[in-house]
Amino acid sequence: MPRRNAPSSIIRRLPVYLRILDNLIKKDVEIISSRTLSSQTGFTAEQIRKDLAFFGAFGTRGTGYNAVYLREKLLKIIGLDKETNVIVVGAGDMGKAFGRYNITKNPYIRVVGMFDVNPEEIGKEVEDLIIEKLDKIPEVIKKYNVRVAILTVPAREAQSVVDQLINEGITAILNFAPTKINVPDTVHVHNTDLTIDLQSLIYYTSTEEKTLI
Amino acid sequence: MPRRNAPSSIIRRLPVYLRILDNLIKKDVEIISSRTLSSQTGFTAEQIRKDLAFFGAFGTRGTGYNAVYLREKLLKIIGLDKETNVIVVGAGDMGKAFGRYNITKNPYIRVVGMFDVNPEEIGKEVEDLIIEKLDKIPEVIKKYNVRVAILTVPAREAQSVVDQLINEGITAILNFAPTKINVPDTVHVHNTDLTIDLQSLIYYTSTEEKTLI
C-alpha cells in the first residue's frame, strides 16, 4: 500500500494524543476513550475518532482504545518509534534552550549538534554538546543521519543556511528565523515566529476601534 | 461603530505585514503593492488585499499602499501604537530568552517582569530584569498595567498560575506550558508547543508505512 500523507491538521494533533497517552500510561491507565482524549486536548471526541480512523485505528464502541497499543502505533506513524537525531543551527538563547532539550523534555528526539557563526560562541558547552562552526554541519549530518534541523539564526542569514542544510540532506526544518525561507517541495518547513505570536495576541487586549477609517 | 473582531487567521497575518513594512520603510520605500507583500510573505496578493480591506484599507489600483500610512494603521489595529508591557512567568531557558527580548527584538513590546518559583533563580538578573517570586506579580501588573503574560512554567504548574494571572487582570496569554489550560471566554490564549512542532515535523521525514493496520 503506498504511503498516504495525512492532512497537516491531523499530523499536528497526533503528538498531542501521544503526550496524553504517555501521561495516562504512567498512571497505569489501560483503556482510553475518545471522550477522555477530548477532555484533555480540547478537540472534540468526533474529531479524535476521525483522526485515528484515518490511520486505521478504531476503538471499541463504548470502551475505547488500548492505551499502550495506540501509543505504539502513534509513535510509528509519527516516526518517533526510534530516536530521531536533530541539529540546532544558531546558538542564541532559543538555540541553547533546544540544546538543553535532550535531558529535560523528550525521550524521542536527540539534539546531536549545535552550530553558530559567532567565534565567541564556538567551543562553548551546552549540556553534552559543544557549539561548533557551520562547516562542521556536513560531518554531523552524515555521522548521525540527521534529517531535521532547528533554525534559530537571524533573518538575514536564514536563507543561505537553509540552502546549505538542504544541500546536505536536511528534509524538515523548524524555523524560528523571522523571515520567509524558500525551500523545494521535498522539504517541509514549520515556521514558529514568537514575535508574530506575541504581537497578534496583543490585538485581543486592545479595546481601540478596529478600523482604518 | 461597535468593535468588530477580525478572524484570527487575519490577525495572525497583520504582524507579518507590519514586519515587512518596517523593513521596506527603513529602505525608504514609499509605496508598496499587494504583489510585493505577496512575494515577501508567501500569502497571495488577493488574500492580502482582502485582509487589509477588512479594516478599510484600500490601496490605489495599479499603485499600492502608502507604506508609512499603512504601517501606522496596522500598529493601531494590532494595538502596538503604544508600547505594550508584558510579564514572563517561568524563568527557564525559554523565559530568559524572552527576558532578553527587550533589547534584541522588538520596539513595540517591553518585558517588565520575570517570575519564578525556584529559590535559586530568584534575584538573578536577566538584562535589566530581576527574577522575582510569583507573589510579586500583582504589584508589577498594577504598576505597569500589564494585560499580556508569557507562560513558560512546567505543565503541572500551568493552570494554577493561569488562574492567578487572570485573577490579577491578565487577558492574553502566550502559553509554552505543554498542557491545555482552561480560561474564561474573555481571556485569549495562544498555545505554542515546541515539542509538538518538532514531533509533527518528524512525520515528514519518515518513509515508514503510515497506517495502523
Q: Tell me what pLDDT residue B18 has.
A: 93
Please report whether residue A211 resides in a domain. Answer: no
> Of A160, A147, A27, whose CA–CA distance to B205 is shortest?
A147
Please report whether residue B209 resides in a domain. Answer: no
Domain CATH code at residue B178: 3.40.50.720
Q: Tell me what pLDDT residue A105 has.
A: 58
Give this prediction's pTM. 0.84
Instruction: Please determine, for residue B212, whether its predicted confidence score (pLDDT) is greater than 70.
Output: no
CA distance B130 to chain A (A): 17
Cross-chain residue pair B210–A77, CB shorter than 8 Å: yes
A153 and A174 in a common domain:
yes
User: Measured between CB atoms, does A110 come within 8 Å of chain B?
Assistant: no
Look at A143-157, B14-28, B99-113 and tell me which has the smallest mean pLDDT: B99-113
Give me the mean pLDDT over the B101-113 stretch. Answer: 76
User: Measured between CB atoms, does B186 come within 8 Å of chain A?
Assistant: no
Sign of CA dihedral A132, A135, A140, A146: positive
pLDDT confidence tier of residue B120, bands split at 50, 70 and 90? very high
Please report whether residue B207 resides in a domain. Answer: no
Q: Tell me what pLDDT residue A153 has.
A: 94
pLDDT confidence tier of residue B42, bands split at 50, 70 and 90? confident
Q: Tell me what pLDDT residue B105 has.
A: 58
Q: How far is CA B211 from CA A187, B22, B152, in A?
A: 22, 46, 35
Instruction: Please determine, for residue A213, whether its predicted confidence score (pLDDT) is greater than 70.
Output: no
A120 and A49 in a common domain:
no
Of A96, A108, A208, the CB nearest to B93: A96
Of B105, B148, B212, the CB nearest to A205: B148
Cross-chain residue pair B205–A56, CB shorter than 8 Å: no
Q: Report the DSSP pairing between strands B148-151 and B172-175.
A: parallel
B192 and B115 in a common domain:
yes
Q: Which residues contact B49 (CB under 8 A, 6 or more apart)?
A: B34, B59
Out of B78, B108, B136, a domain closes at B78
pLDDT confidence tier of residue B14, bands split at 50, 70 and 90? very high
CA distance A98 to chain B (A): 9
Out of B78, B110, B132, a domain closes at B78
Look at A48-62, A113-127, B16-30, B65-79 and tell me which has the smallest mean pLDDT: A48-62
Closest chain A residue to the Cα of B41, Cα to Cα: A180
CA distance B165 to chain A (A): 14
Q: Tell me what pLDDT residue A4 has.
A: 58
- Rounded distance, CA A201 to CA B192, Å? 12
Say if residues A30 and A63 touch (Cβ distance below 8 Å). no
Instruction: Name the residue with higher pLDDT: B100 or B37.
Output: B37
Q: Tell me what pLDDT residue B1 has.
A: 34
Please report whether residue A183 resides in a domain. Answer: yes
A91 and A149 in a common domain:
yes
**To the nearest whole number, what is the mean pLDDT of chain A?**
88
Q: Tell me what pLDDT residue B213 has.
A: 44
CA distance A166 to chain B (A): 13
Q: Taking CB atoms and an 8 Å cutoff, what residues of chain A touch B204?
A: 11, 171-172, 188
Instruction: Please determine, for residue A131, whether its predicted confidence score (pLDDT) is greater than 60.
Output: yes
Out of A35, A53, A77, a domain closes at A77
Closest chain B residue to the Cα of A52, Cα to Cα: B212
| DSSP H stretches of helix in chain B | 8-26, 34-41, 45-54, 67-78, 93-99, 101-104, 137-144, 155-167, 194-203
pLDDT confidence tier of residue A184, bands split at 50, 70 and 90? very high
Give me the mean pLDDT over the A28-53 stretch. Answer: 92
CA distance B151 to chain A (A): 12
Q: Tell me what pLDDT residue B61 has.
A: 75
Say if residues A81 and A57 touch (Cβ distance below 8 Å). no
B122 and B90 in a common domain:
yes
B109 and B72 in a common domain:
no
Tell me the count of A-B CB pairs closer than 8 A.
208
Cross-chain residue pair A205–B147, CB shorter than 8 Å: yes
Helix axes A194-203, B67-78, angle to 10 degrees: 70
Closest chain B residue to the Cα of A17, Cα to Cα: B196
Instruction: Please determine, for residue A55, whether its predicted confidence score (pLDDT) is greater than 90.
Output: no
Q: Taking CB atoms and an 8 Å cutoff, what residues of chain A touch B147?
A: 205
B39 and B106 in a common domain:
no
If you search the block for the grid coordinates 473582531, which residue do you land on?
B5
pLDDT digits (tens, 9 = 90+) for A72-98: 999 999 999 888 999 999 998 888 888
CA distance B91 to chain A (A): 12
Give me the mean pLDDT over the A29-39 stretch. Answer: 92
Instruction: Name the residue with higher pLDDT: A212 or B46.
Output: B46
Q: Tell me what pLDDT residue A207 has.
A: 60
Q: Tell me what pLDDT residue A178 has.
A: 86
Please report whether residue A48 resides in a domain. Answer: yes
Look at A48-57, B22-31, B94-103 and tell me which has the smallest mean pLDDT: B94-103
A115 and A54 in a common domain:
no
- Rounded distance, CA A162 to CA A172, Å? 10
A118 and A29 in a common domain:
no
Please report whether residue B28 resides in a domain. Answer: yes
Domains identified in chain A, total number: 2
pLDDT digits (tens, 9 = 90+) for B143-189: 999 999 999 999 899 999 999 999 999 999 999 998 889 999 999 99
Cross-chain residue pair B211–A86, CB shorter than 8 Å: no
Q: Tell me what pLDDT residue B207 has.
A: 60
Q: Tell me what pLDDT residue B133 has.
A: 96
**To the nearest whole number, what is the mean pLDDT of chain B?**
88
Instruction: Name the residue with higher pLDDT: B172 or A213.
Output: B172
Instruction: Please determine, for residue A2, whether its predicted confidence score (pLDDT) is greater than 50.
Output: no
B89 and B135 in a common domain:
yes
Instruction: Please determine, for residue A62, whether its predicted confidence score (pLDDT) is greater than 80.
Output: no
CA distance B136 to chain A (A): 22
Instruction: Please determine, for residue A1, whether its predicted confidence score (pLDDT) is greater than 50.
Output: no
Q: Tell me what pLDDT residue B153 has.
A: 94
Domain CATH code at residue A24: 1.10.10.10
Please report whether residue B3 resides in a domain. Answer: no
Please report whether residue B178 resides in a domain. Answer: yes
B149 and B94 in a common domain:
yes
Residues 122 to 181 of B: which have CB under 8 A from any A CB? 147-148, 150, 171-174, 178, 180
B115 and B13 in a common domain:
no
Say if residues A153 and A122 touch (Cβ distance below 8 Å). no
User: Measured between CB atoms, does A37 come within 8 Å of chain B?
Assistant: no
Number of helices (H) and strands (E), helices first, in chain B? 9, 9
Residues 51 to 80 of B: which have CB under 8 A from any A CB? 52, 55-57, 73, 76-80
User: Measured between CB atoms, does B94 come within 8 Å of chain A?
Assistant: yes
Structural domain for B140, as ranges: 84-198
Closest chain B residue to the Cα of A12, Cα to Cα: B200
